[in-house]
Amino acid sequence: MIVPKSYEELAACIEGEGKIVLFFTADWCPDCQFIYPALPEIEAAFADFTFVRVDRDDYMALAQKWDIFGIPSFVVLEKGQEIGRFVDKNRKTKTEITSFLAGLK
């Protein structure tokens, strides 16, 4: 999982090759804490995707641009264009996230 330290690093990730999964999160979020332990397995199952952790509080302008009002949320990009989103305020399970990503392969 890539954790960008600046908007410039995040922009470079977004412009990267292949499918990019923007994982919008915040450390204070209990629903985010719930999914953290499953992320290594999810990343391993979708090794052809690049996962980027975006702290919603650190990148509020980007979260607003992408209409991220609930976390955890996932936006998948390819060639800089959105190809899928799993965005709402509800807790997400490993199964739900896996099914969402499988539909984008």
- Given 10, 13, 21, 29, the catalytic residue: 29
Q: Is 13 a catalytic residue?
A: no
- Given 10, 20, 32, 42, the catalytic residue: 32
CA-CA distance, 20 to 75, in Å (whole number)? 8
**Is-contact 5 54, C-beta < 8 A?**
no
CA-CA distance, 41 to 92, in Å (whole number)? 15
Q: Is 29 a catalytic residue?
A: yes
Greatest CA span in the chain, whole angstroms? Answer: 32
- Known catalytic residues are 29, 32
